[in-house]
Structure 1
């Protein structure tokens, strides 16, 4: 890998990296108490330094810039973690029980219906939409919706009866 500023300053980026990675990583490890987080922060800082190497190579102490960036990366990570933990504490979702056996049977039975009949039944019986609203939503005549509902209910009743007795339609 060649440096974007080959010849800029006394050291190439590769030499700068080789000379400074380990000491900076140890400093960040002492700060974070986590080797993985320290390595991530230092690598991120060196990535940012690489993009600015033409400018940084002229700094009196480019390693100080990398250290500052690495510390900021580690601090920002802690802030995000604290915010996520606070959010999780204050926005805990209650544990919701799974669906009842009847609801599972209904979902299975609905899945066997043609899509237009299934959609009509769901919109009418679960979403509480009227025939006219479903017709408008589907772009069909009200009579078509009534037909879908009638056929869907008949097929649904037969399917639910079969599920109760253990039979299956093929």
Structure 2
């Protein structure tokens, strides 16, 4: 978009008023700033059309206000869902084995870790892993073999004592 198309000047001269109006309508200065920013971004994308309107600032205010209303709806719907379903059930902490596995995976090179996670945890075939990672099938097989070998060594040293002695 050309620098002299008028949008920059429009933004400079109207942004304070738009944010002030949205703040007054919504009561939250940060939400007002976010809504105004999104409204101006949408105006910029359609500037050739919006600049032809009789009052482009009114268009931006309307879009900003609608964004605020949509955020209120999302919040209200979230509260309604919370009341209907109650709080989220507490999740048990991960087991010692899970913690050991994640710690071991972090020590692997990224390519080996990715291949192992996609193949064993996401249940993708070797061919699917190869496609997703844009890697030849043979390379995926090699990464899986090397990664499994490294994991076996790492997990033997990281497993809790009662697991290794069982």
Give TM-score, length-normalised by structure 1.
Answer: 0.53
Whether 2:31 is the aligned partner of 1:37: answer yes
Whether 2:17 is the aligned partner of 1:23: answer yes
Aligned counterpart, 2:165 = 169
Whether 2:63 is the aligned partner of 1:69: answer yes
Aligned counterpart, 1:52 = 46
Question: Paired residue for 2:83, among 79, 82, 89?
Answer: 89
**Bigger share in helix:** 2
C-alpha distance 85-94 of structure 1, shift in aligned 2 (>3 A) = closer
2:91, 2:2 → 1: CA distance?
58
Larger Rg: 1
Q: How many angstroms does 1:29 deviate by? A: 0.6
Deviations 1:65-122 (A, max 9, x none): 00100000000000011001111111125745848xxxx69x78xx9xxxxxxxxxxx
1:95, 1:60 → 2: CA distance?
53
Deviations 1:48-81 (A, max 9, x none): 0000101111111110100100000000000011
C-alpha distance 92-24 of structure 1, shift in aligned 2 (>3 A) = same
Q: What is the root-mean-square deviation in Å for CA atoms of aligned residues?
A: 3.0
Deviations 1:16-59 (A, max 9, x none): 00000000100111111111000000111000000010111111
Count of residues in Structure 1 that have an aligned counterpart in Structure 2: 105
C-alpha distance 91-49 of structure 1, shift in aligned 2 (>3 A) = same
C-alpha distance 78-53 of structure 1, shift in aligned 2 (>3 A) = same
Aligned counterpart, 1:80 = 74
Q: Which runs of 5+ in 1 are unaligned?
A: 112-161
